[in-house]
Amino acid sequence: MTPTRVSVDADVGEDRWINPHGAARHELEAFLTLAEELHFGRTAVRLHVSTARISQTIRSLELRIGVRLFERTSRRVSLLPVGQQLLDDLRRDQHPDCQVP
């Protein structure tokens, strides 16, 4: 799987490479499911874990790769452009450890 080049800050032209191959399978599953559901509770039910576990997993993934993938409020979850780009790249490349919706 090829790394994804994402624009972190278009105003200053800062780009970063994200290598999804280095992510743990459960991190990619949580990312992909949350990107599809856009709801922590439904994601947790689908993956048979707690909502806290999904939140921790996504936060850990974001910290490791150095960019936020989701915008979160108390009422909604949405993909940030970086997250959408990563989702599109995962769909295109079909990561061998995960089924991409």
Mean pLDDT to the nearest integer, 5-13: 50
Residue 93 — very low, low, confident or very high, per pLDDT cuts 50/70/90? confident
The 10s digit of each residue's pLDDT in 15-74 is 555 555 566 788 989 999 999 999 999 999 999 999 999 999 999 999 888 889 999 998
Q: Which of 4, 21, 3 is nearest to 85 (CA)?
A: 4
Domains of the chain are 4-93 (1.10.10.10)
CB 45 within 8 A of CB 53: no
Residues 6+ apart with CB under 8 A from 32: 87, 90, 98, 100, 101
> pTM score, two decimals?
0.74
Q: What is the pLDDT of residue 39?
A: 96
Q: What is the pLDDT of residue 55?
A: 96
Q: In angstroms, rounded to a whole number, what is the distance separating the alpha carbons of residues 61 and 67?
A: 9
CB 92 within 8 A of CB 1: no
